[in-house]
Amino acid sequence: MINKELDKIDIGILNLLQKDATITHKAIAHTLNISPTPVHVRVKRLEDEGYIKRYVAIIDYKKVNRGLIAYTQVQVKPHAEENLIAFLDEVTKLDEVLECSHLTGKFDFLLKIAVRDMDEYNQLLRNKLAKLPKVDNMESLFVMSQAKHETGINLSK
């Protein structure tokens, strides 16, 4: 459910910015049939309130020689809070790790990793991941192809 503070114009702005963060306030205003000044005010409010976290360019991993994508599940033992925090403190420093999510289930964390090739992944696994605090078990899944990759969510539904 959408936050009650967001109206149709806010949702429209967010949907447009998710599709193209370079869209001008004038273009947003034209699309939403309002004037540019309220768009500017609303965008600033959405940024200040944390709805808009940042603006980014989506890079094609293959074109920058990081075409091997792995999802690595990591189990930390024992399951003490300080061990989980110690792992997080270190894993989030690794440039190869694009995402780190804390999970329920057998594994504690899911890492999305982008590297050049299997040799680079093997080096990362042996020389960095396996040496992180309290790592007990890891399992990796490699992306063979990608049918869908969305960076935004449809807020209109």
pLDDT in tens, 22-53: 999 999 999 999 999 999 999 999 999 999 99
Mean pLDDT of the chain: 94
Query: Are 82 and 103 part of one and the same domain?
Result: yes
DSSP 36-72: HHHHHHHHHHHHHTTSS----PPP-GGGGT--EEEEE
Q: What is the pLDDT of residue 156?
A: 81
Does 153 fall in a domain? no
Return the pLDDT at 1: 44
23 close to 17: Cβ distance less than 8 angstroms = yes
Residue 133 shares a structural domain with residue 81 = yes
Answer yes or no: pTM beyond 0.85. yes
Say whether both 39 and 73 belong to one domain.
no
Report the CATH number that the domain containing residue 39 is assigned in CATH.
1.10.10.10
On whether residue 33 sits in a domain, the answer given is yes
What is the C-alpha to C-alpha distance for residues 72 and 94, in angstroms, rounded to an integer? 14
The answer to whether the Cα torsion of 14, 15, 20, 23 is positive or negative is: negative
Task: Check residue 3 and give its pLDDT.
Answer: 55
What pLDDT is recorded for position 4? 64
**pLDDT reported for residue 115:** 98
Residues 22 and 76 in one domain: no
Domain encompassing residue 25? 8-48
Q: How far is CA 31 from the centre of its chain?
A: 28
Helix then strand then coil, in percent of the chain rounded to 5, is 40, 20, 40
Q: Tell me the C-alpha distance between 123 and 125, whole Å.
A: 5
Cα–Cα distance between 51 and 42 in angstroms, integer?
Answer: 11
d(CA 96, CA 109): 15
10-residue mean pLDDT series, the chain (157 residues): 77 96 97 97 96 95 97 93 94 97 95 98 97 94 95 86
Instruction: Using a pLDDT cut of 90, give the percent of the chain over it.
Output: 92
Same domain, yes or no, for 43 and 83? no
Strand partners, 110: 73, 101
Q: How many CA atoms lie within 13 A of 93 on its CB side?
A: 9
pLDDT of residue 5: 83
**One domain, residues 38 and 93:** no
Q: What is the pLDDT of residue 157?
A: 65
Q: Is 72 exposed, middle or buried (0-12, 13-18, 19+ CB in 10 A)?
A: buried
